[in-house]
């Protein structure tokens, strides 16, 4: 299975990280499940994927509101990240995206644009030996308005010195695609884990 790259004079490729470069979403779900189980809070898998790209602390805050809980977002998010980091030895790349990266590296500038923290993104990329390919990383700490707001993608384009209209975004979530559209960028949708398994 290969990604269908649109034809265009692109000046930069902007990649989400989790679920786009690295096949980390199943590992993140397991980590969230463990962290929330300790709080007695359900987090169904369909909701986890629907909220893909939402910052961790906001996920905790949303579930507090839904279930009338008082979980501390900082504490639960840190616990969840700890569980994720403990599973990094199981992390795999998303090969159809790695093919694009390998083919374009050195020919076009890259950036990672993620709703994850710098620490999480750095750990994931380092685990797979990809850190050197992404000197520009715009992560959760680097912008105020998360996807589907276009702020993060526009910031990455500015850091690369490339007009938004010449950026191609690689994303696996609905809110990521909406953010790319709002930024005036073209986009490529990376299939979800279950879609990749059936093709």
Would you please indicate which residues are annotated as catalytic (active-site) residues? 16
Q: SS3 for the chain, per residue? A: CCCCCCCCCCCEEEECCECCCECCHHHHHHHHHHHHHCCCCCCCHHHHHHCCCCCHHHHHHHHHHHHCCCCCHHHHHHHHHHHHHHCHHHCCECHHHHHHHHHHCCCCCEEEECCCCHHHHHHHHHHCCCHHHCCCEECHHHCCCCCCCCHHHHHHHHHHCCCHHHEEEEECCHHHHHHHHHCCCEEEECCCHHHHHCC
């Amino acid at each position: 299975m290969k990604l269908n790259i649109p034809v265009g004079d692109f000046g930069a490729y902007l990649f989400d990280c989790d679920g786009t470069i690295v096949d980390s979403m199943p590992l993140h779900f397991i980590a969230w499940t463990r962290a929330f189980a300790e709080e007695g809070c359900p987090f169904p898998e369909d909701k986890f994927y629907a909220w893909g790209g939402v910052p961790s602390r906001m996920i905790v805050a949303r579930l507090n509101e839904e279930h009338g809980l008082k979980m501390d977002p900082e504490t639960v998010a840190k616990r969840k990240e700890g569980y994720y980091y403990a599973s990094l030895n199981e992390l795999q790349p998303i090969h159809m995206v790695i093919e694009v990266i390998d083919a374009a590296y050195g020919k076009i500038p890259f950036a990672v644009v993620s709703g994850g923290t710098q620490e999480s993104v750095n750990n994931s990329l380092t685990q797979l030996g990809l850190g050197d390919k992404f000197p520009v990383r715009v992560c959760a700490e680097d912008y105020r308005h998360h996807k589907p707001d276009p702020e993060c993608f526009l910031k990455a384009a500015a850091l690369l010195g490339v007009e938004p209209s010449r950026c191609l975004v690689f994303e696996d979530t609905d809110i990521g695609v909406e953010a790319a559209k709002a930024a005036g960028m073209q986009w490529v949708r990376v299939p979800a884990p279950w879609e990749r398994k059936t093709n």
